[in-house]
Structure 1
Amino acid sequence: MMATAPPKYTDSPLSLIPTPKFQTGKDDPFTIEASYMALSHNAFIRGFNSIYQQAPRVTLPADKADFAGYSVAWADCVHMHHHYEETEFFPNLDKAAGQKGLMDGAVHEHEAFQGGLQKFKQYLQDKGADWKSNELIVIMNEFKDAFHSHLKAEPPAIVALAKYSTPEKPIDILGIADAGGKKQLSLPFVLNTLPVFFLNMETVEFEGGMWHGVFPPLKGLAKSIMLKGVPMWHSGRWRFVSCTPEGTAKHLAV
């Protein structure tokens, strides 16, 4: 009897979020940065969904160890993203606007699920290959609604910041985001964590493919290195991602 192939990844239980550019057709810097944020959030959503969908089917000890590594990398990537926002992106937006607390709402949203995210990571680190899918899913259910609510709310909040940018005091939101993001990069982060972001990025079909080759902003050799070369390190864990290096949804590992 032939074994059935693993199912193809689906966008559940969390749904993807649209980009502001797709919704409005605008291409001002605030709409573009908010759209990049939405695309990043969708990578986190696909990561969450890929863990949620595969956890009940991972049974072999070696697979469970790799899956735990993948899941911890996902949690670390989400945490690093919010650390970047709170230490670089948001403070520098405040500075450019000459106002404080412009994104305090997003910071409070982070607080609403950060405890659950940390509990998720700690559980996997404590259990190693002995984690149980029912226990892991219970933890994910505890923070998924607050997590998803934040991911949906932040891009429109970024678009709304355009009102603080004036001809006399313009806010270079794309430059602020780029400079802050580069500060987060380190070799351990690139090797141990970043593939969970790039390999949960479906660009071929999402919004008619309008972001394919646009975001993430990788070209040529850099793209090959990040999407194919780097994932050779810890390749066991990256097999659980939802997408191919070419940006298409794939059949899950299990």
Structure 2
Amino acid sequence: MATISTPPMYADMPLATLPTPQFETGETDPFTIEASHMALSHNSFIRGFNSIYQQAPRVQSVDKADFVGYCLAWHDCVDTHHHYEEIELFPNINKACGRTDLMSTAVNEHAFHGGMERMKAYLQHEGANFKADELIAILDSFKDALHSHLKAEPPSIVALRQYSTAQRPIDILGIADAAGKKQVNLSFVFNVLPVFLLNMETAEFEGGMWHDVFPPFKGVAKWILTKAVPAWHSGRWRFVSCSAEGKVKQLAV
């Protein structure tokens, strides 16, 4: 693969990763745990965004088709996540809490998807002929709104514990698990999931406290999802920010 210089290590820029509520507070109640899982997921989206932003100016013509596939997979990963929040997770949270509006702010913050759709449309139209400065300009148009939303959502999950009582307990982990499972189908596993799992840094993040904890895959299942599955469309996944072992790696370009 042609490169213009030695590829750098991935760095958390232009968007900073998020601390987990559990790391910050030491609390281990279900709402803090679920909010922490959400923060870890959001960090994967952030590292995916950053890896696109950092590599777009460096990618060579021969690699552009694969890079476009990677960018579109990132778009679909975030889009699918928010789609299921809106149709599964948030409505079921509202129902469990006996409210109709608790998550309305989070839904309204999804307005940045307009910028994401411009990114998708641009890459689908231009394909391997995309121009780095044009792609970066689109990313710049929604990056702050994206980051603000990803940062705000975990604390809003922690705050839900005030609605859980002995008379009306809220199984936030069960609600989230059920919503998450509905995202998964065969196409998602092979065409989208690698961009999520391989932008998940767990080896050193927060002292490694989440390594082999989240995502909750171990042994053969972890090997299949992080090494075997990415063999499909492998050209795309070389642009990820992390290794299958959850370590930040040298970028592809």
Gaps of 5+ in 1: none
Cα separation, 2, equivalents of 1:193 and 1:251 = 21
Residue 158 of structure 1 aligns with an amino acid whose one-letter code is I
Q: Corresponding residue for 2:40?
A: 39
> Which consecutive segments of 4 or more residues in structure 1 shift more than 6 A?
none
Cα separation, 2, equivalents of 1:13 and 1:180 = 30
Gaps of 5+ in 2: none
Cα separation, 2, equivalents of 1:73 and 1:86 = 20
Cα separation, 2, equivalents of 1:244 and 1:149 = 27
Residue 96 of structure 1 aligns with an amino acid whose one-letter code is A
Q: Corresponding residue for 1:86?
A: 86
- Partner-residue secondary structure (3-state), 2:40: helix
- Percent of pairs with identical residues: 68
Residue 15 of structure 2 aligns with an amino acid whose one-letter code is L
Q: CA RMSD in A?
A: 1.1
Cα separation, 1, equivalents of 2:211 and 2:158 = 22
TM-score (norm 1): 0.97
Q: Corresponding residue for 1:239?
A: 238
Per-residue CA deviation, residues 41-94 of structure 1 (Å, 9 max, x unaligned), is: 00000000000000000122x300000000000000000000111011000111
Cα separation, 1, equivalents of 2:208 and 2:242 = 14
Q: Corresponding residue for 2:95?
A: 95
CA positional deviation for 1:171: 0.4
Cα separation, 2, equivalents of 1:247 and 1:122 = 31
- Partner-residue secondary structure (3-state), 2:243: coil
- Partner-residue secondary structure (3-state), 2:225: helix
Question: Matches of residues 169-184 of structure 1 in structure 2 within 5 Å?
Answer: 169-184=168-183
CA positional deviation for 1:5: 2.4
Residue 250 of structure 1 aligns with an amino acid whose one-letter code is K
- Partner-residue secondary structure (3-state), 1:57: coil
Q: Corresponding residue for 2:75?
A: 75
CA positional deviation for 1:6: 0.7
Cα separation, 1, equivalents of 2:47 and 2:31 = 24
Cα separation, 2, equivalents of 1:132 and 1:37 = 33
Equivalent pairs, count: 251
CA positional deviation for 1:4: 4.5
2:9 is the alignment partner of 1:8: yes
Cα separation, 1, equivalents of 2:120 and 2:250 = 25
Cα separation, 2, equivalents of 1:241 and 1:114 = 22
Q: Corresponding residue for 1:22?
A: 23
- Partner-residue secondary structure (3-state), 2:57: helix
2:120 is the alignment partner of 1:108: no
Cα separation, 2, equivalents of 1:138 and 1:204 = 32
Question: Matches of residues 183-194 of structure 1 in structure 2 within 5 Å?
Answer: 183-194=182-193
Cα separation, 2, equivalents of 1:202 and 1:173 = 25
Residue 223 of structure 1 aligns with an amino acid whose one-letter code is K
Cα separation, 2, equivalents of 1:165 and 1:140 = 39
Q: Corresponding residue for 1:229?
A: 228
Q: Corresponding residue for 1:56?
A: 57
CA positional deviation for 1:220: 1.1
Cα separation, 2, equivalents of 1:183 and 1:114 = 21
Residue 201 of structure 1 aligns with an amino acid whose one-letter code is M
TM-score (norm 2): 0.98
Residue 207 of structure 1 aligns with an amino acid whose one-letter code is E
Per-residue CA deviation, residues 121-154 of structure 1 (Å, 9 max, x unaligned), is: 1110111100000000000000000000000000
Q: 1:51 to 1:106 in 2, by over 3 A?
A: same
Cα separation, 1, equivalents of 2:90 and 2:144 = 23
Residue 75 of structure 1 aligns with an amino acid whose one-letter code is H
Residue 130 of structure 2 aligns with an amino acid whose one-letter code is W
- Partner-residue secondary structure (3-state), 1:56: coil
